[in-house]
Amino acid sequence: MATNDAVNDTAGKGKLKLIILIAVALLLAVGLSVGATWYVMHTPKTESAPVVESGIKPAAIYEAMAPAFVVNYNANGRQRYMQVSMTLQARDAADLNALKVHMPVIRNNLVMLFSGQAFDDLATPVGQEILRQKATASVQAVAQKELGKVVIDQVLFTNFVLQ
């Protein structure tokens, strides 16, 4: 009988572990859902791209920002580096050309943004996406201030290297 009790205890512990695992998975799913909803509800809305009479957005225009950005970090006593190549996505060539005049301000703001990040945060895909969104907001802020409209749909990272 002692053997039978041991089998029942093992089966009971297995079921308990399964229940706990399911509960943790449900809590994680609910947490992610709440977090995503909060993020979407609190993300600042940007000016939409111009729409042609047919209701279709104009084709995207891409402008590479050269040279690539290189930022150094001191992480855990080690010298670390980030290199990121970026491309601007816009819908109006004239607006994009007008924005190029302000490229020194844009690059300065991006260097300050990049150097203010924690290296460990940049090592995750989520951290990289947050940085990309912050870079987009930074470029849009300069465009809004200087040209009166956001001009840029988004900033794209075309190369991202951490070392």
- Give the residue-averaged pLDDT of 124-134: 95
- Give the residue-averaged pLDDT of 143-148: 94
* Distance between CA atoms of residues 111 and 130, nearest Å: 16
pLDDT tens track for 50-69: 555 567 889 999 999 999 99
Statement to judge: residues 82 and 108 lie in one domain = yes
Instruction: Give residue 53's pLDDT.
Output: 57
Statement to judge: residues 29 and 76 lie in one domain = no
Statement to judge: residues 31 and 90 lie in one domain = no
Q: Could you tell me if residue 54 is inside a domain?
A: no
Instruction: Give residue 156's pLDDT.
Output: 96
Q: How many domains does the chain have?
A: 2
- Pair 148, 111: CB distance under 8 Å: no
State the DSSP string of 39-58: HHHHSPP-PPPP--TTSPPP
Statement to judge: residues 89 and 14 lie in one domain = no
Statement to judge: residues 78 and 127 lie in one domain = yes
Statement to judge: residues 102 and 35 lie in one domain = no
Q: Could you tell me if residue 49 is inside a domain?
A: no
DSSP state of 92: -
Statement to judge: residues 104 and 66 lie in one domain = yes
Statement to judge: residues 116 and 149 lie in one domain = yes
Amino acid in the structure at residue 145: K
Instruction: Give residue 45's pLDDT.
Output: 56
Tell me, rounded to whole angstroms, the distance of Cα 139 from its chain centroid: 14
Residue 89, pLDDT above cutoff 90:
yes
> 61: which residues sit within 8 A by CB, 6+ positions away?
89, 90, 91, 92, 93, 96
Coil, strand or helix: which one is 97?
helix
Q: Could you tell me if residue 51 is inside a domain?
A: no
Instruction: Give residue 125's pLDDT.
Output: 94
Statement to judge: residues 22 and 84 lie in one domain = no
Statement to judge: residues 82 and 124 lie in one domain = yes
Q: Could you tell me if residue 50 is inside a domain?
A: no
Coil, strand or helix: which one is 155?
strand
Structural domain for 65, as ranges: 61-162
Q: Could you tell me if residue 56 is inside a domain?
A: no
Look up the pTM and report it.
0.64
Return the beta strands (E) in the chain as ranges.
61-75, 78-90, 152-162
Q: Could you tell me if residue 25 is inside a domain?
A: yes
